[in-house]
Structure formats: structure tokens, C-alpha cells
Amino acid sequence: MPDMKTMLNDFMVDKQRHLNIFWQEIQTRQGITCKSYWLCGVGGYFMGFFQPVLDAKASWPVPGL
């Protein structure tokens, strides 16, 4: 288990570093100013909603993968 704790700690440190980089950039831009931000959110919502409706097999895990 000590190896797992080290791995998780390293993972958390790396994610915190990424968070700090992105937060600094957001502060530099005075907020999220991406013009397509809302479009990506809406597209992701519809893809997540309609995928199981259109292709029921895609929502189930495939044995052997």
C-alpha cells in the first residue's frame, strides 16, 4: 500500500500544478472568455444524453477490452 499512497500523492501534486496554471490564465484573462465555451458545454450535454438513445450498445462495457 505505501506505493499506492506515493502514486496518489504524486498524482494529486501534478493535478494541483495544472489547476494553478489554468487558474493563473483565467485570472490573466479576467474570467473565462472563450467564445465557444457554452457551445462545448451544450454539445457535451447532448452527446451524453443522446448516445445511449441512438446506440444502446455503446453505453455498455464490451467484454475483452
- The per-residue pLDDT for range 3-15, each reduced to its tens digit, is 888 989 999 999 9
**Per-residue pLDDT, 34:** 75
**Per-residue pLDDT, 54:** 72
Q: At 64, is the pLDDT very low, low, confident or very high (cuts 50, 70, 90)?
A: low
- Alpha carbons 19 and 30: distance in angstroms, whole number: 16
What kind and span of H or E run contains 24? helix 2-28
- The per-residue pLDDT for range 27-63, each reduced to its tens digit, is 888 877 677 878 888 888 888 888 777 776 655 555 5
Phi and psi for 30 in degrees, rounded to 5?
A: 60, 45
